[in-house]
């Protein structure tokens, strides 16, 4: 029977297939010491993991390497999690690493990850629930150690950038067993007094163990329930705690927190001048547009329309006045004619008119007109009225 001969590539491919089908090797955790560590410019990490008698090559691709929040050095003892497989090109079997934690912190990391998942599921990290920071707050509360350099860093940054500042310091423990308790008390105090507009929880850098007090569930819920916006400035840029995720804003360092709260005064002045110039330019442009509009209006027929309306009303008023004047004149003429007719009739009946024709009016001493001779007797006194005067006579 002829022996079948395989190529190296076929063998390596088969061995890789055997490794990949083995569920035990698919997701395995290994403890060891790092040697030959190299961080490639692509972001991938290459190293060897060894113990007292053996070693194995490891690779951690960039996507997983970005989750490592501590500095990796040769000689560091770690626990890695990943898949054992074969690199076909040279037949080397190696671990494709997905997670890495320093040895001895396994339980802390597990507690951290479990709490993180729990709170994230409950929505405590949701961006929609985060409060916005006030612009140029009048007073800022800082929860930190009163003896550390963090306070001075914040004061120096604030004084250099903004000048005027009003900071209230709540002294708290930032390392040890009672970190969460004192920080919670600081948050409660500021919320009860309501005397600050924003709170900064600050601490300098440290190991994962040093910062673990900020991974407390009660502290996380107190931050979430705070009525005052909270900035978490715990550790360095590569350090992440539960406090960072639940706070309204995370600052990579305490100094960066001060920069987020207080802007550069010179930048404010430049911005104000810019707004001032833009407002002035906008007003001038608005006035120019209105002037141009008025100018076009004067040249258009629209300007004449109001004047035409006024002139039409003037003509109507003149016509009405003329009509009323003529009507009044006509009425006066009719009244005058009737008056003359009445006067003529009255004049015709007037005794004076009779006197002008040579007649006289005789009256007795009582003023009664004597129309007949039997109304008088001898010796009566009569008054005779002529056209030009009166005389008294005695009847004989």
Question: Do the beta carbons of residue 181 and residue 170 sit within 8 Å?
Answer: no
94/87 Cα distance (integer angstroms): 7
CATH number assigned to the domain covering 8-104: 2.40.50.140
C-alpha to C-alpha distance for 198 and 132, rounded to whole angstroms: 10
Q: Is 268 a residue whose pLDDT tops 70? A: no
Share of the chain above pLDDT 90, in %: 27
Instruction: Please tell me the predicted confidence (pLDDT) of residue 266.
Output: 64
Among 153-157, 273-277, 301-305, where is mean pLDDT lowest?
301-305
Q: What is the pLDDT of residue 331?
A: 85
Cut 0.85: pTM above it: no
Domain ranges of the chain: 8-104, 136-263, 266-299, 303-347, 352-394
Question: What does each C-alpha distance from 29 to 20, 25, 79, 92, 208 come to in angstroms?
Answer: 16, 9, 7, 19, 20
**CA–CA dist 392, 382 (Å, integer):** 6
> What is the phi/psi pair of residue 43, to 5°?
105, -10
Q: How far is CA 220 from CA 132, 134, 171, 214, 261, in A?
A: 18, 22, 19, 8, 22
Q: Predicted confidence band at 120 (pLDDT cuts at 50, 70, 90)?
A: very high
Question: Which pLDDT score is estimated for 304?
Answer: 58
pLDDT tens string 142-160: 999 888 788 888 888 877 7
247 CB-contact burial (10 Å; exposed 0-12 / middle 13-18 / buried 19+): buried
Top CATH class, 136-263 = alpha beta
Q: What number of other Cβ atoms are within 10 A of residue 89's Cβ?
A: 8
Contact (CB, 8 A) for 69 and 239:
yes
The pLDDT of residue 352: 66
> Which DSSP symbol is given to 27?
S
Using the predicted structure, report yes or no on whether residue 265 has a pLDDT greater than 70: no
Tens digits of residue pLDDT in 13-66:
888 888 888 888 888 899 999 999 999 999 999 999 999 999 999 999 999 998
| Residue whose C-alpha is closest to residue 96's, from 14, 30, 17 | 30
| Length of the chain in terms of residues written | 396
Can you give the pLDDT at residue 193? 94
**Looking at residue 50, what is its pLDDT?**
93
> 65 and 40 in contact (C-beta within 8 Å)?
no
Please compute the mean of the pLDDT values over residues 272-299 and round it to a whole number. 83
Read off the tokens for 164: 């005027």
pLDDT at 386: 80
Runs of H (alpha helix) within 194-237: 217-225
> What's the confidence (pLDDT) of residue 301?
58
CA–CA distance, 169 with 150 (Å, rounded to integer): 11
What is the C-alpha separation between 252 and 203, in angstroms, rounded? 11
What's the pLDDT at 226?
94
- Asked if residue 101 lies in contact with residue 64, where contact means CB atoms within 8 angstroms, the answer is no
Residue with tokens 């009860």: 192
Whether 130 has a pLDDT exceeding 60, the answer reads yes
Q: Which residues pair with 140 in a beta bridge?
A: 167, 198
pLDDT for 328 beyond 70 = yes
Among 74, 76, 94, smallest CA distance to 25 is for 94
Mean pLDDT of 202-208: 82
Helix H segments across 194-303?
217-225, 242-246, 254-261, 265-299
Beta bridge partners of 143: 170, 201
pLDDT of residue 351: 67
**SS3 of residue 321 by DSSP:** helix
Mean pLDDT of the residues in the chain: 84
Distances (CA, A) of 275 to 162, 264, 266, 288: 20, 17, 14, 20
Check residue 199 and give its pLDDT. 93
């Amino acid at each position: 029977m002829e022996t079948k001969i395989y190529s190296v590539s076929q063998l390596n491919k088969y061995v890789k297939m055997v490794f990949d089908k083995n569920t035990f090797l698919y997701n395995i955790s290994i403890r060891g010491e790092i040697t030959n560590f190299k961080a490639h410019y692509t972001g991938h990490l290459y190293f060897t993991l060894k113990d007292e008698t053996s070693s194995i090559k490891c690779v951690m691709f960039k996507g997983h390497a970005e989750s490592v929040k501590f500095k990796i050095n040769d000689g560091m003892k770690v626990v890695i999690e990943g898949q054992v497989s074969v690199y076909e090109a040279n037949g080397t079997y190696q671990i494709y690493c997905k997670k890495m934690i320093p040895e001895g912190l396994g339980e802390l990391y597990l507690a951290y990850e479990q709490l993180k998942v729990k709170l994230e599921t409950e929505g405590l990290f949701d961006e929609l629930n985060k409060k916005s920071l006030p612009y140029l707050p009048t007073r800022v509360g800082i929860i930190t150690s009163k003896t550390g350099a963090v306070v001075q860093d914040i004061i120096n940054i604030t004084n250099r950038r903004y000048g005027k500042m009003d900071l209230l310091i709540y002294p708290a423990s930032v390392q040890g067993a009672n970190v969460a308790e004192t920080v919670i008390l600081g948050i409660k105090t500021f919320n009860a007094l309501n005397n600050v507009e924003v709170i900064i929880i600050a601490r300098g850098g440290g190991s994962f163990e040093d910062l673990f007090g900020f991974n407390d569930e009660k502290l996380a819920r107190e931050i979430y329930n705070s009525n005052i916006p909270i900035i978490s400035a715990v550790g360095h840029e590569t350090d992440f705690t539960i406090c960072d995720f639940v706070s309204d804003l995370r600052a990579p360092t305490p100094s960066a927190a001060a920069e987020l709260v207080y802007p550069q005064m010179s930048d404010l002045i430049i911005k104000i001048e810019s707004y001032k110039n833009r407002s002035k330019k906008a007003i001038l442009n608005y006035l120019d547009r209105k002037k141009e509009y008025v100018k076009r209006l004067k040249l258009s027929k629209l300007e004449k329309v109001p004047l035409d309306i006024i002139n039409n009303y003037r003509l109507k008023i003149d016509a009405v006045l003329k009509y009323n004047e003529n009507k009044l004149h006509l009425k006066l003429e009719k009244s005058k004619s009737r008056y003359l007719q009445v006067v003529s009739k009255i004049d015709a009946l007037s005794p004076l008119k009779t006197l002008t024709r040579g007649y006289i009016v005789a009256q007795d001493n009582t003023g009664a007109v004597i129309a007949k001779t039997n109304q008088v007797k001898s010796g009566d006194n009569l008054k005779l009225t002529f056209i030009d005067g009166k005389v008294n006579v005695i009847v004989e």
